[in-house]
């Protein structure tokens, strides 16, 4: 038996809604699942697929339906090879294209192959290009009775209102620091000792991920923290006038556009918090950001946030990450008091 509310307790409320809807036979034909990067949106959607297709669901302790984890359908879903479950995500262009949505629409009206119904997941509905979003509307307006669509949206990234209004919205929260730490510790416990991150590394990964556990797992076991530290050091040196912008931009380029923008966004948000008398999320940046907050009006931080959003929107068209990094670094540098900048 698989129960996501046990593995990821912060998803319990949203999960109960699904179980109740299913028990009542009122399951919506389209859900828009929203949440921060790394809170478990995809894991949640996979669990919903399994529960929707399971042929012999069991009752949880609370009497709600849970997937058995043993039937043929559950096995196929767990192996990511169920022919009646399809996932669509952005391809090279970083967008979901219209031909992917056309193939989704054909899948939606086809007969299920081995299950009673079909499930499609759009992983990053906020990355549908405009033609793709329009093509999807038809599928949403005339839903096939044996088809469920799960759209995943990252917080802060817009989805067209015409799409949003045709879905039931399910927000997934970020776990508490304790829940996130407990989940992460459990996930890395299975790694052999030389690859297992230390408690200190886990704490840092959780800090960088804002307690989004799946993102923290990626950070704890991947190269991101090292690259981030290198970029952060170059950032500080650049602000003090010790390295050229091209040098600093190279360190950011190594992160890739998405992660780089995410870092700049985090620091700009921290600067806005400090300007408003609050606490930053990234304690390592507090000294530099505190100095900037004391020397600049609060609207500067919001301007930086706008610039990150502009860069992200432009990112759809394959911008040069190094150039975007230079542009953002110079905008930050302009916040340094004149005599310090010399």
Interface residues with Zn ion (CB under 5 A) are 54, 67-68, 71, 74
Secondary structure class of 170 (helix, strand, coil): strand
Nearer to Zn ion, 54 or 231 (CB): 54
Nearer to Zn ion, 5 or 136 (CB): 5
Q: d(Cα 114, Cα 53) in Å, to the nearest integer? A: 9
CA quadruple 133, 318, 263, 290: dihedral sign: negative
Q: d(Cα 316, Cα 128) in Å, to the nearest integer? A: 10
Nearer to Zn ion, 71 or 305 (CB): 71
Backbone angles phi, psi at 151, to 5 degrees: -100, 130
Paired tokens of 191: 């790694």
> According to DSSP H, which parts of 189-285 are helical?
199-208, 213-221, 224-239, 245-253, 257-275
Nearer to Zn ion, 112 or 315 (CB): 112
In 103-124, which positions are buried (b, 16+ CB within 10 angstroms) versus exposed (e)? ebbebbeeebeebebbbbbbbb
Nearer to Zn ion, 54 or 249 (CB): 54
Nearer to Zn ion, 74 or 125 (CB): 74
Q: d(Cα 211, Cα 331) in Å, to the nearest integer? A: 28
Q: Which own/partner contact pairs does 17-23 have at CB distance under 8 Å and 24+ positions apart?
A: 17/170, 18/48, 18/51, 18/170, 19/51, 19/60, 19/64, 19/65, 19/66, 20/64, 22/51, 22/52, 22/65, 23/64, 23/65
Q: How far is the CB of 1 from Zn ion (least distance, A)?
A: 9
Q: How far is the CB of 296 from Zn ion (least distance, A)?
A: 57
Q: d(Cα 171, Cα 36) in Å, to the nearest integer? A: 10
Q: How far is the CB of 56 from Zn ion (least distance, A)?
A: 6
Q: How far is the CB of 62 from Zn ion (least distance, A)?
A: 19
Q: How far is the CB of 44 from Zn ion (least distance, A)?
A: 17
Beta-carbon contacts of residue 94 (< 8 Å; ≥ 6 apart):
127, 315, 316, 318
Q: How far is the CB of 19 from Zn ion (least distance, A)?
A: 15
Nearer to Zn ion, 67 or 231 (CB): 67
Nearer to Zn ion, 67 or 288 (CB): 67
Q: How far is the CB of 49 from Zn ion (least distance, A)?
A: 11
Q: How far is the CB of 246 from Zn ion (least distance, A)?
A: 56
């Amino acid at each position: 038996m698989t129960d996501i509310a046990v593995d990821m307790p912060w998803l319990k409320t949203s999960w109960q809604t699904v179980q109740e809807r299913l028990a009542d036979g009122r399951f919506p034909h389209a859900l828009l699942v929203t949440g921060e990067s790394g809170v478990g949106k995809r894991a949640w959607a996979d669990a919903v697929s399994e529960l929707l297709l399971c042929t012999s669901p069991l009752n949880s302790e609370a009497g709600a339906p849970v997937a058995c984890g043993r039937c043929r359908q559950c096995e196929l879903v767990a192996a990511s090879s169920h022919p009646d479950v399809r996932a669509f995500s952005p391809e090279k262009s970083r967008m979901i294209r219209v031909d992917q949505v056309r193939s989704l629409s054909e899948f939606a009206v086809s007969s299920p192959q081995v299950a009673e119904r079909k499930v499609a997941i759009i992983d990053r509905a906020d990355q549908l290009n405009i033609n793709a979003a329009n093509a999807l509307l038809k599928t949403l307006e005339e839903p096939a009775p044996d088809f469920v669509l799960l759209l995943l949206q990252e917080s802060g990234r817009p989805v067209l209102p015409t799409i949003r209004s045709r879905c039931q919205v399910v927000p997934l929260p970020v776990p508490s620091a304790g829940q996130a730490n407990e989940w992460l510790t459990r996930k890395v416990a299975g790694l052999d000792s030389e690859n297992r991150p230390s408690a200190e590394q886990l704490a840092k990964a959780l800090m960088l991920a804002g307690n989004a556990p799946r993102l923290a797992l990626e950070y704890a076991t991947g190269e991101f923290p090292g690259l981030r530290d290198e970029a952060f050091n170059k950032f500080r040196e650049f602000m003090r006038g010790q390295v050229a912008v091209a040098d600093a931009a190279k360190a950011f380029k190594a992160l890739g556009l998405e992660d780089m923008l995410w870092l700049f966004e985090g620091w700009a948000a921290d600067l806005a918090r400090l300007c408003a008398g609050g606490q930053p999320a990234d304690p390592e940046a507090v000294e530099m950001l505190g100095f900037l907050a004391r020397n600049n009006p609060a609207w500067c931080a919001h301007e930086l946030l706008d610039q990150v959003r502009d860069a992200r929107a432009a990112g759809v068209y394959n911008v040069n990450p190094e150039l975007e990094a230079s542009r953002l670094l110079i905008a930050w540098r302009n916040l340094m008091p004149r005599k310090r900048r010399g």
